[in-house]
Structure formats: C-alpha cells, structure tokens
Structure 1
Amino acid sequence: METTANKSAIEAEIQSILLPINDYLEGRPAKDTERLRRAFHPDAFIRMVVDGKLAAWTVPQYLDAVANAPVQECLPEMLSYSWDGDTASALVQLIFPTFRFIDRFNLVKLDGKWLLMDKLSYRQPI
C-alpha cells in the first residue's frame, strides 16, 4: 500500500531528478555557464555527430562553446524522463529559430545529488 509518506518521498526524488535537467533547460538558452556547470557531473561528456563524425566535449570545453555561442531565442522543452534507482534518463529539446537540438541525457545520483552524466545531441534543421 502506498502511503502519503511514500508519495511525498517519490515526489521529492522526482523533483531532485528534474533539478539538473531544468538547470540545463533554463541555463543553456541564457548562456548561464555556472548553472550548466552545476547540472553536469565534472566527468560528463557531451557528444554529437557533426558532418558524419562523432564530436565529444568535456564539460569545460562545452561551457566555453556555450559562452561563445551567439544569443538566440530558444524554446526549451522537457519531452520525457525515466528513473530507476540511482540512474535516470531524459529527452529534451531546445528549439531555435532555424534548428532544434534534441538532447538525450543520462543522469546519476551520487552523494544524494542528481547530475547529468552524459549528453547525446542531434541538431535538426527546421
């Protein structure tokens, strides 16, 4: 039987999982590199296929790229997420005027905190 305490604990865990995802969704369009740094595990990798080849960035490299990107209007959106134990995944999109990024995240819970462990992106022209 599910109790109110169980429901509260589950809701609190879901909010903890969504915190780094929301940091990404709100931090990326604003180029808020400190908020993005907080969302990612320091050893996370960001990957994307560029011109048919796999490109990979460390968190510091990714934050530098974000800091140097032009400011553009962007509509961030959470599409879905799932959670099992101390791992989770999420699918989000960032819609810009001429393209959208579709991002797949894997998250991990370490020391009671959820962090983005890796990001795999697809850039789609609109």
Structure 2
Amino acid sequence: MKTLSEKTSVEDEKHLILLTLNDYLQGRPVKDIDRLRAAFHPDAYIRTIIERKLVQWTLPQYLDLVAQATLQECRPELLSYTWDGDTGAAHVQLTFATFRFIDRFNLVKLDGKWLIVDKISYREELQ
C-alpha cells in the first residue's frame, strides 16, 4: 500500500515544502504572525541557547516574542532542505544588520501539508 507521500511527485513535494518554508522566511522578517503560525504545527517547540542554557518556547510564546520584536530590515535565505516520506528537515537563516539567526527545522507532513514541529536557533553576532 502506498502512503500519501508516495503518491505525490517529487516536484509537488518540493512545492509543498517550500510553501511552508516561505511562510516562515517571508513572515518572520515582517512580523506576519498569521503567516508564521501557518508554518508551524500548533504543538511545535522553539529552542535556543542563551547564556549557556537551553531555553525553549511553545509556539504561542514564540509568536508573542516575535510580535514584540523591533521591526528591522532582514535578508531571509533558504540554505537547504530534504525529506524522506512524511518527515523532513530544513536549514535557513535570517540576516539582520548586526546579527543573524541560523535555524534548523524538523518538519512533518500531516493531512497533505508540511509543518515545522521543532526549531533550533543560533544567534550569531556580525562584526
């Protein structure tokens, strides 16, 4: 028996994954909370290291932080993505004037839509 992902062509699958990644890459720089929310599974976690400690937020907590952030010019980039069946991963970065976020996502495909279920992020200060 074929799974849903086996019935979808490679090009169709790429398109579906890119829809989700673009919701993040285009939504985050302009603080489009609805578009960001659409990219994530409702139970997603966002994690980073702050002062040598693991910090994590639920999706609602993360969206609140983004909504409160200062709006800055940003260059979003998709560095890579891959998938096997109904799971995938992506590597992106958002470059601001003085820092960049380097993000890695775990993705799942549910009901024909790819969603970010886990985000780990690194903040790199720029010289």
TM-score if structure 1 supplies the norm length? 0.93
Do residues 118 (structure 1) and 118 (structure 2) align?
Answer: yes
Structure 2 partner of 1:33: 33
Q: CA deviation at 1:18?
A: 1.2
User: How many angstroms apart in 2 are the aligned matches of 1:54 and 1:98?
Assistant: 23
Structure 2 partner of 1:103: 103
Within 5 A, what are the aligned runs for 1:1-126?
A: 9-126=9-126
Aligned-partner SS, 2:117: strand
**RMSD of aligned Cα (Å):** 1.2
> Aligned partner of 2:59: which letter?
V
Aligned-partner SS, 2:12: helix
**CA deviations over 1:69-117 (Å, ceiling 9, x no partner):** 0000100000011110000100000000000000000000011111001
Q: Taking every aligned residue pair, what percent have the same amino acid on both sides?
A: 65
Give the paired residue count. 120
Q: CA deviation at 1:120?
A: 0.2
> Aligned partner of 1:58: which letter?
T
**CA deviations over 1:16-55 (Å, ceiling 9, x no partner):** 0111111000000000000000100000000000010011
> Aligned partner of 1:54: which letter?
L
Aligned-partner SS, 1:71: coil
Runs of 4+ in 1 over 4 A off after TM superposition: none
Structure 2 runs not aligned, ≥5 long: 1-5
Structure 1 runs not aligned, ≥5 long: 1-5
